[in-house]
Structure 1
Amino acid sequence: MDDLEEPRWLDGEEQQSWFAFAYMLIRLPAALEAQMQRDANISQFDYLVLAALSMVPDRTQRMSDLADATASSLGRLSNVVIKLERRGWVRRTPDPIDGRYTLAILTDDGWDKVVTSAPGHVNEVRRLVFDPLTKAQQRQMGAIGQRILQAIDPELLARIQSSRDSQGEQ
């Protein structure tokens, strides 16, 4: 943007929408985190990693693909997987197809953790996100989320959609 160009200020309605959305972006993760800590003694991100592994064939995924699936950097994911490994919920091994990659594997104990944690998580997501909305609003929320993610990181959105499409084919 040219320094001399006037910013496109938000009008009153846009400001209201933005503040509601921004506060939701702050408060929703905190509420989900509190529920996971309270009910499962794990972080929301720990659960996201475990759940992502629970949904792939053989409960095994390359760390780079798992990073995409959890919208995380490899560094952050590696730190969390090390912690989950110590708890016996995940193990890592070199990819036998290409040793340059590392596979994350959900253990049976990790599967059990997902199974016991999932009901509380889904109840909280339903209570906070889906129950307040009509079916039409839920569809709009999905479409809006995709459009915003497209503006933020189109390559990530394409990888996520490709990953979900390939999971649907299996």
Structure 2
Amino acid sequence: MWGYPAALDRQNARDSGLSTGEYSVLATLSEAEGHRLRAGDAAADLGWERSRLSHLLRRMEGKGLIERVTSSCDGRGQDVLLTEAGWDAIRAAAPDHVTFVRETIFDPLTAEEQAVLAGALRKIREATQEHGLW
């Protein structure tokens, strides 16, 4: 799996013009209530540092994929809102992305191999959690 993240980046760029990070942000916002989240909540949902997200949001805002708006919760902070262009981008990108993941991770494996993979990934996640890094 060492080269898989790079292959995923290339697939997203080739098929949708999005980076994997942009795709992840758009997918997270598309699933959020009102298609908006506080930036800190989005970073937590993605498992990212806030600074990483902040830099990406700046670029995405420049592309018109998201907007930063006054928080709907308290008016002091900012929410990240999915724009129509962002909606269009995630709707266009999702089918190819899902197909790529299915065809490259799940379809080549038997049901038994998929079960072994799921077990191994669960153990890796647990070990990462024990180190406080999940």
Q: TM-score range by the shorter chain?
A: 0.7 to 0.9
Q: Which runs of 5+ in 2 are unaligned?
A: none
1:67 match: secondary structure: helix
User: Which structure is larger by alpha-carbon Rg, 1 or 2?
Assistant: 1
Aligned residue identity for 1:37: A
Q: Would you say 1:67 and 2:67 are equivalent positions? A: no
Amino acid at match of 1:75: S
Deviation sequence 1:1-47 (CA, Å, 0-9, x none): xxxxxxxxxxxxxxxxxxxxxxx1x2110111011111111211111
Give 1:108 deviation, angstroms: 1.3
| Aligned twin of 2:83 | 107
CA distance in 2, matches of 1:94, 1:143: 42
Question: What TM-score do you get using the length of structure 2 for normalisation?
Answer: 0.87
Specify whether residues 31 and 58 from structure 1 end up closer, same or farther in structure 2 by C-alpha distance, changes over 3 A only. Answer: same
Matches of 2:79 and 2:119 in 1, distance apart? 32
Query: Could you say what the CA RMSD is over the residues aligned between the two structures, in angstroms?
Result: 1.9
Give 1:72 deviation, angstroms.
Answer: 1.1
Instruction: Tell me the equivalent position of 2:16.
Output: 40
Where in structure 1 are there 5+ consecutive unaligned residues? 1-23, 158-170
Among 119, 123, 138, the alignment partner of 2:99 is 123
State the percentage of identical aligned residues.
35
Q: 1:52 aligns with which of 28, 40, 44?
A: 28
Aligned counterpart in structure 1 of residue 65 of structure 2, from 67, 83, 89: 89
In the TM superposition, residue 137 of structure 1 has moved relative to its aligned partner by 3.4
What code does the residue aligned with 1:29 have? P
CA distance in 1, matches of 2:76, 2:124: 33
**Shift >4 Å, 4+ stretches:** 154-157
User: Retained in 2: the 8 A contact 1:68–1:156?
Assistant: no
Query: Can you list the C-alpha shifts for 1:114-144, whole angstroms capped at 9, x where unaligned?
Result: 0001111111101111112233433443343
